Amino acid sequence: MRSGMRDRPLIHVTEHIHPVAASILERNAQVTYGVDGWSADTEALIVRNRRVSEADIHATPALRVIGKHGAGTDTIDCAAAERAGVTVVATPGENAPSVAQHAIAMAFSLIRNLSGHTTALREGAPLSGQDRIGKEIDELSAGILGMGAIGREVSRILSIFNTSRAAYDPYLPHDRWPTGVRRASSLDEILASSDLLFVHMPLTADTRHLLGESAFRKLPQGAYLVNCSRGGIVDEVALADALASGRMAGAASDVFETEPPPRDHMLFRQPNFIATPHLAASTNLGLERVGRSVVQKVLRALGADADRANRPKEEE
């Protein structure tokens, strides 16, 4: 049994959280900040991208809760936490609008080649002929891998543009399947029908390198890929080859297997590839939502007044 009870719990935050969330936390707990160097008496960690290893958990004997600022817990050794009696909480769904909007923005950038036009103009040689012609999103068939909160929000936004949508998610119950979205029965089926493929699934042993050379060959010629889920789901070497060969028209990624990616990453040599540094969820409103949620869940797990913790200061 882990100990460490005190009047106000000691909570360590490894990375920046929204000021509103930080203010709520500081009124209800003793708070320290920094990527490393937390006290062994720390009762809860709140992490964003920092990995939490078994060694970290063992070095913090008072630890009772790990809060993930975000949905994916693949950066936390959850098995080690469970063995140590440490609760792991996350905030699935809170960042869905932010990530979905980022994915859609990337898609529009790809199909209108905004990066290519910008580079050409900067070099004083505007694109000409067929290179000037883009696509409208409703002339493409969109496929979505994973119909969690983010995948469903991507589908909702696409519906505004009357885009044909299909999705593959063997785990979502039929009674929760959104209307207007064709349900693919297999990965091969969704690949074969997707001119524009969105990836919104967790990284697991089963999904690692799920999208590689074989999968890319099953996409329609000239397809586009947008990955705002996790690095590792896409085989980056295979993707670079598919882009270089012209098999795929373009790809966008907010995530990489190694983050940050090296400057000489093979994908950066492809003019039809665009990227951002794992910031799809980083909007002001989205960060406030996620911050409030993780603070509330951590305080609740520690036995604090979670309802009070979730109210703005002026309401108290």
Residue closest to 251 by CA, chosen among 151, 113, 132:
113
Q: Is the pLDDT of residue 4 over 90?
A: no
Q: What is the pTM of this model?
A: 0.85
Mean pLDDT confidence for 191-208: 96
30: amino acid identity, one letter:
Q
Set 102, 165, 278, 292: catalytic member: 278
Q: Is 278 a catalytic residue?
A: yes
91: amino acid identity, one letter:
T
Distance CA 168, CA 92 (A): 19
**pLDDT averaged over the chain?**
94
> Would you state the pLDDT for residue 6?
62
Set 230, 236, 289, 292: catalytic member: 230
Q: Is 85 exposed, middle or buried (0-12, 13-18, 19+ CB in 10 A)?
A: exposed
Set 82, 259, 269, 311: catalytic member: 259
Which of left, alpha, beta for 192 (phi over 0: left; psi -120 to 50: alpha)? alpha
Distance CA 39, CA 59 (A): 9
Strand partners, 248: 223
- Structural domains for the chain: 10-92+284-315 (3.40.50.720), 96-275 (3.40.50.720)
Q: Is the pLDDT of residue 211 over 70?
A: yes
Q: Is 300 a catalytic residue?
A: no
Other beta carbons within 10 Å of 1:
4
Are the C-beta atoms of residues 216 and 187 closer than 8 Å to each other?
A: no
Segment 16-48, tens digit of pLDDT = 999 999 999 999 999 999 999 999 999 999 999
> Would you state the pLDDT for residue 7?
79
